Amino acid sequence: MAATTELNFFQVKKGLFSWIFSVDHKRVGLLYLYSIMAFFLVGVILGVLMRLELLNPGKDLMEAKTYNQVFTMHGVIMIFLFIIPSIPAVFGNFFLPIMLGTDDVAFPKLNLLSWWIYVVGALMALSTLLFGDGPADTGWTFYAPYSVRTGTNVTMSVLAAFVLGFANILTGLNFIVTIHRLRTPGMTFFKMPLFAWALYATSWIQLLATPIIGITLLMIVAERVLGVGLFDPSIGGDPILYQHLFWIYSHPAVYIMALPAFGIISELLPTFTHRTIFGYKAIAFSSLAIAFVGYFVWGHHMFTTGMSGAARIVFSIMTFLVAIPTAIKVFNWVATLYKGSIDVQPPLLYALGFIFQFMIGGLSGLVLGALASDVHLHDTYFVVGHFHYVMFGGTGFAFFGALHYWYPKIWGRMYNKTIANIAFVIFFIGFNTLYFPMLISGLMGMPRRYYDYLPEFHLPNMISTYGSWILATGLVLMLGNLIAGFFGPKPEIGRNYWGGITLEWQTLSPPPLQNFDKMPEIPKGGPYDFENNY
Amino acid sequence: MEHHSGLVLPNSGHNRDAEASKLGMWLFLFTEFLLFGGLFIVYMVYRMLNPEAFLTASYQLNVTLGAMNTVVLLVSSMTIAMSITAIQQGNSKRSIQLLVFTVAASLVFLVIKYFEWSAKIHHGLFPGMDVFNRLPHGEGLFFYLYFFMTGLHALHIIIGAIFIVVVIFRTKNGLLNADNYSHTENAGLYWHLVDMIWIYLFPLFYLIH
């Protein structure tokens, strides 16, 4: 029988070139995984260095300018190289076609091209460390007029972000066409897994928002090169215009980072509660609603930079509207846990960690979305804390949850679950020790983006820095455990390690090149109908 | 791609799918519109802030040359649409002729653009040149945006022309024919986009008085 002799996609071809020129979506997904993880670790090291500098007031480790460059590099790497591509480019690439019951994305060559563009963009971003006048010191937002005037190598960083945008657009375009054209017969839109829905909404944002930042960044470059005042007021430009253009993209981009994570959580919960997801359609539509409303809230980044009162009130109200579809998701996830037969495994722990931390992140977001309180909290550590709770505590945890969830499927191996649980606990404690004090020091009034602070902020900063060490320990343990799983005798994984119901669990682990060794069967009664299928 | 077991999934990513390829092109066109959309916003903001300066500066542009280019692009859009009809009817030769005409039109457009640009540069109106630096800020912005937007548009003309040349060779080699012409259609879609953006650029820079 074919199934027993089937080669998996690792075995079909060997050698470096068979990877870096592969059009197989699974290999492209793994290429993304390895490169993204490498850049993530660079970003983590920069983050730990920043915390080290902030351990005590005054200068500990680096000059003010170096610190500015470090936080800019940390932001650029974490946002453009890690979190924006993370879940779609890795798990979307690998699992979207399998979950839809097809053998590849709609445009496999464009998919490979997107990885190459990503690598070129990443090398451009990192090249500022070695060449030119040093990496940018503007913050990842490249705010004009400083980004126009600073002597550091802003041009290259900005061009890198421009190039990276193309990689995102190609991934998004590929997913939309894949979802429209390649669903297996019988898989209607409302029989798709929720991860596919989340990627669908994400892809539309990638497609419709990314070009705006592309052209804005080109304008920054042109202004630096040609010296015409578009954004720099000293030569007649308007810096507020830059902020508008920047946030028209960068606010929706926050949902590019968050929506795929919502999709992951919607996959993890049914599998580990062995019951159907509560409110399938509500979750599916709320992704689209977030994507839509998310376009009209960019002004909440600019409450203190000189907009009319009416505009600020409108943006504030719109911001509160985003909370509705987001809360719909959270309520549905919690309701899914109710009366489920809960199986506590490492991926579920990450999902629960996500819900807990994302709640803190989301609610602190409402504090910032409210006009009156934002005036006080703007540009304080409260913003830093909020953002890391949403992005790292949210998307980052979902990413690692997904990694633990699909690990047996991707590699056909298994990590040590006890160590994975311990690593999660350390990671979770470290995360909250690191970021919760930031919310407090922000409320006390500590401004962000300085290498120094007043003595009264010493205690929360000290706790934060200790937290960064705990977090790093947890991270090393978690990754070490995952890597250790690659070695040693190969355990019997079978097709369906966790008892999941989506289509990827019907094929071999690892999957064969064409994804399925027999026709996938669509679950009767909906994508998460455990009752009729087990 | 090698397939090792006999199983071929019904909706494979390796099937030829004209609908998918057209859908992909449409999505890509959305991104192009938004790319220029950002520039249109900037144009609108600065036109509203400096209405008089923009008006004065716009008199410097040569409406005749701009109008000629508009006609050239509209005709080329027509010929590429005709070439798609030709290949649908199985007339590859006629399709190639019409595509060659389209490429020729794109060259005419670029030549006219070249003369327009060099006249401006000759007068020192390119950003950074003497005359440009002495202009009032609003007029400077006008010329800056003029060069930025028409330059980006010309870049799209060049890319579109290369795309069409590729389609010509593929049609010649018989890779594109009455059963498989989605590349021709995509080249047409892209060319219409280039045309359409010019339809907005022309009045914004040359005509509004």
- CA of B152 to nearest chain A CA: how many angstroms apart? 10
Asked if residue B127 has a cis previous peptide bond (ω within 30° of 0), the answer is no
Whether the pLDDT of residue B120 is over 60: the answer is yes
For B142, the token pair is: 């006008």
Whether the pLDDT of residue A205 is over 70: the answer is yes
Say what the pLDDT of residue B128 is. 82
Least confident of A79-83, A259-263, A315-319, A526-530: A526-530
CB distance A236–B137 less than 8 Å?
A: yes
Where are the alpha helices (H) located in A445-529, listed in sequence order?
458-484
pLDDT band at A35 (very low <50, low <70, confident <90, very high): very high
Q: Average pLDDT, stretch A366-385? A: 94
For the segment B52-110, what is each residue's pLDDT rounded down to a tens digit?
999 999 999 999 999 999 999 999 999 999 999 999 999 999 999 999 999 999 999 99
Burial of A509 (0-12, 13-18, 19+ CB in 10 A): buried
CB distance B7–A519 less than 8 Å?
A: yes
Whether the pLDDT of residue A4 is over 80: the answer is no
Three-state secondary structure string covering chain B: CCCCCCCCCCCCCCCCCHHHHHHHHHHHHHHHHHHHHHHHHHHHHHHHHCHHHHHHHHCCCCHHHHHHHHHHHHHHHHHHHHHHHHHHCCCHHHHHHHHHHHHHHHHHHHHHHHHHHHHHHHCCCCCCCHHHHHCCHHHHHHHHHHHHHHHHHHHHHHHHHHHHHHHHHHHHCCCCECCECHHHHHHHHHHHHHHHHHHHHHHHHHHCC
Whether residue B17 lies within 8 A of chain A, CB to CB, comes out as yes
Cβ contacts (< 8 Å) between A169 and chain B: which residues? 28, 31
């846990």: which residue's tokens?
Answer: A337
Say what the pLDDT of residue B164 is. 97
What is the identity of the amino acid at A268?
Answer: L
**Rounded to whole angstroms, what are the CA distances from B199 to A11, A419, B206?**
54, 63, 11
CB-nearest to A212 from B20, B32, B34 is: B34
In a domain, residue B115? The reply is: yes
Cβ contacts (< 8 Å) between B45 and chain A: which residues? 238, 241
Whether residue B39 lies within 8 A of chain A, CB to CB, comes out as yes
Whether the pLDDT of residue A3 is over 50: the answer is no
Q: Average pLDDT, stretch A388-397? A: 96
Say what the pLDDT of residue B6 is. 62
- CA of B94 to nearest chain A CA: how many angstroms apart? 30
For the segment A122-142, what is each residue's pLDDT rounded down to a tens digit?
999 999 988 888 899 999 999
In a domain, residue B50? The reply is: no
- Number of domains composing chain B: 1
Name which of A210, A249, A514 to mutate to probe chain B: the one with the most chain B Cβ atoms within 10 A of its Cβ.
A514
CB-nearest to A106 from B4, B5, B20 is: B20
For the segment B163-207, what is each residue's pLDDT rounded down to a tens digit?
999 999 999 999 999 999 999 999 999 999 999 999 999 999 999
**Among B159, B147, B84, CA closest to B120:** B147
Say what the pLDDT of residue B5 is. 55
Domains belonging to chain A, first-starting first, are 20-258+395-529 (1.20.210.10)
CB distance B19–A97 less than 8 Å?
A: no
The partner residues of A447 in beta bridges, in order of sequence, read: A380
CB distance B137–A107 less than 8 Å?
A: no
Whether the pLDDT of residue A2 is over 60: the answer is no
Say what the pLDDT of residue B83 is. 97
CB-nearest to B9 from A177, A219, A514 is: A514
In a domain, residue B180? The reply is: yes
Question: How large is the angle between the packed helices A25-53 and A108-127, nearest 10 degrees?
Answer: 20
For the segment A44-71, what is each residue's pLDDT rounded down to a tens digit?
999 999 999 999 999 988 999 999 999 9
The CATH number of the domain holding residue B69 is 1.20.120.80
In a domain, residue B19? The reply is: no
Q: Which residue of B has its CA nearest to A512?
A: B4
Rounded Cα gap, residues A307 and A313, in angstroms: 10
Question: How large is the angle between the packed helices B137-172 and B18-49, nearest 10 degrees?
Answer: 170
In a domain, residue B92? The reply is: yes
Q: Which residue of B has its CA nearest to A248?
A: B38
Whether the pLDDT of residue B208 is over 70: the answer is yes
- C-alpha angle A18/A167/B28, rounded to 5°? 115
Say what the pLDDT of residue A5 is. 59
Say what the pLDDT of residue B1 is. 43
Which helix (H) or strand (E) segment is A399 a member of? helix A397-411
For B30, the token pair is: 């959305």
The mean of the pLDDT values for chain A is: 93
Per-residue b or e along A80-109, where b marks 16 or more CB atoms closer than 10 Å to that residue's CB: bbbbbbbbbbbbbbbbbbbbbbbbbbbbbe
Q: Which residue of A has its CA nearest to B19?
A: A181
Say what the pLDDT of residue A534 is. 61
For the segment A418-430, what is each residue's pLDDT rounded down to a tens digit?
999 999 999 999 9
Rounded Cα gap, residues A61 and A51, in angstroms: 10
> Hey, CA dihedral for B134, B136, B137, B143, is it positive or negative?
negative
For B27, the token pair is: 């999505």
Whether the pLDDT of residue A309 is over 50: the answer is yes
CB-nearest to B35 from A174, A215, A235 is: A215
Which residue segment(s) compose the domain that B193 sits in?
Answer: 63-207
For A22, the token pair is: 């592969």
Q: For residues A474 and A424, is the Cβ–Cβ distance under 8 A?
A: yes
- CA of A515 to nearest chain B CA: how many angstroms apart? 9
Say how many CB pairs under 8 Å bridge A and B: 144
Q: Which residue of B has its CA nearest to A210?
A: B31
What percent of chain A clears pLDDT 90, i.e. is strictly above it?
86
For the segment A80-118, what is each residue's pLDDT rounded down to a tens digit?
999 999 999 999 999 999 999 999 999 999 999 999 999
Rounded Cα gap, residues A262 and A270, in angstroms: 13
Whether residue B2 lies within 8 A of chain A, CB to CB, comes out as yes
For the segment A480-517, what is each residue's pLDDT rounded down to a tens digit?
999 999 998 888 899 999 999 999 999 999 999 999 99
Least confident of A2-6, A259-263, A294-298, B109-113: A2-6
Name which of B14, B29, B34 to mutate to probe chain A: the one with the most chain A Cβ atoms within 10 A of its Cβ.
B34
Rounded Cα gap, residues A72 and A69, in angstroms: 5
Rounded Cα gap, residues A132 and A80, in angstroms: 21
pLDDT band at A74 (very low <50, low <70, confident <90, very high): very high
For B68, the token pair is: 């000629």
Cβ contacts (< 8 Å) between A515 and chain B: which residues? 9
Rounded Cα gap, residues A361 and A370, in angstroms: 15
In a domain, residue B194? The reply is: yes
Whether residue B159 lies within 8 A of chain A, CB to CB, comes out as no
What percent of chain A clears pLDDT 70, i.e. is strictly above it?
99
**Among B99, B195, B97, CA closest to B153:** B195
In a domain, residue B134? The reply is: yes
Where are the alpha helices (H) located in A54-144, listed in sequence order?
64-76, 86-87, 93-100, 108-127
Whether residue B36 lies within 8 A of chain A, CB to CB, comes out as yes
Cβ contacts (< 8 Å) between A180 and chain B: which residues? 20, 23
